[in-house]
Amino acid sequence: MNFQQLRIIHETVRRNYNLTDTANALFTSQSGVSKHIKDLEDELGVELFVRKGKRLLGLTDPGKELARIVERILLDARNIKRLAQQFSDQEQGYLTIATTHTQAQYALPPVVTQFKKAFPQVHLVLHQSSPGEIVSMLLDGVADIGIATEALESVSELASFPYYSWHHAIIVPHGHPLEAVHPLTINAIAEYPIITYHQGFTGRAGIDEAFAREGIIPDIAMSALDADVIKTYVELELGIGIVASMAFNPARDVRLNLLDSSHLFQKNITNISVRRGHYLRGYAYRFIELCLPALTEADIRSSVRPAEAELGPA
């Protein structure tokens, strides 16, 4: 048994049992992948994959158990490298944050500014992705920290910490009839075309639920990934906008008006998440602490790496 065989098992599962894709990802040949799998099965004395001819369809029961063990082994192998980097150079390296456009644009700038002042030699990578992509990046070890409103908290492999709460808000061009409606209601909003977020982004589910509670099907005229695009088309008077309240800046959005509408929509919680068992460099803890000053490194360690919490700060 060797690491190459374990990598092939892991990558084959990730690539949905496509041996060509697995071989390309590992820079080897398809025949080499097949041979490594067969050699490992012969050594263990069990079949790891369900087959139909030469095609792999899935994992057998022993294969499922092995896949979980392999994932832990490869994760710890990556952790060994990170541990060495931590003690050889504590203030240099990379920190990868996977987050949505909304968080990167409106919530994180003050944190990033403080972090870069404290760690000028750390290369900070901000991946702007969908919530589902953020989960995948965390689980695959591509990202160190994930920040989003959707998806993160429900994944058991992730340790999640509430970052901040926020509400959606209605934005309209100056002079719009809704400015005279007090209090604002879902029925009043539903009289106009709506421009808001795509499904699965920035609390869109909460927006849909607010209309569903009133038995109303809204006229969603347009949807976009980020608030800047939404605001652009509201300014063009193509509809009213529903955006995250922190996306409105009165100094910049001078052609728009933010209406008091927090009572209409549920509270949203943005979470900061890390992969359980993923070794974090010392500056990664500092980044999280800048976001959540009340959360200590010991708190994070006890959630992320319970067995190692007694080792103390890195």
pLDDT digits (tens, 9 = 90+) for 185-199: 999 999 999 999 999
Which band of pLDDT confidence, cut at 50, 70 and 90, is reported for residue 125?
Answer: very high
Q: In this predicted structure, what is the pLDDT of residue 38? A: 85
Domain of residue 219, residue span: 168-266
pTM score, whole prediction: 0.71
Would you say 175 and 249 are in contact if contact means Cβ atoms under 8 Å apart? no
Exposed, middle or buried by CB within 10 Å (0-12, 13-18, 19+), for 256? buried
Asked if residue 222 and residue 75 are part of one domain, the reply reads: no
Q: In this predicted structure, what is the pLDDT of residue 304? A: 81
Which phi and psi angles does 220 have, rounded to 5°?
A: -80, 95
Asked if residue 283 and residue 252 are part of one domain, the reply reads: no
Asked if residue 161 and residue 12 are part of one domain, the reply reads: no
Q: In this predicted structure, what is the pLDDT of residue 158? A: 94
Which phi and psi angles does 92 have, rounded to 5°?
A: -130, 155
Q: In this predicted structure, what is the pLDDT of residue 312? A: 41
CATH number of the CATH domain containing 239: 3.40.190.10
Which band of pLDDT confidence, cut at 50, 70 and 90, is reported for residue 241?
Answer: very high
Asked if residue 218 and residue 246 are part of one domain, the reply reads: yes
Asked if residue 254 and residue 275 are part of one domain, the reply reads: no
Asked if residue 177 and residue 54 are part of one domain, the reply reads: no
Query: Of 11 and 196, which is predicted with more confidence?
Result: 196
Q: In this predicted structure, what is the pLDDT of residue 43? A: 86
Alpha-carbon distance of 184 to 242, in angstroms, equals 13
The region of weakest confidence among 122-126, 192-196, 205-209, 295-299 is 295-299
Asked if residue 94 and residue 236 are part of one domain, the reply reads: no
Domain count, the chain: 3
Last residue of a domain, one of 64, 82, 100: 82
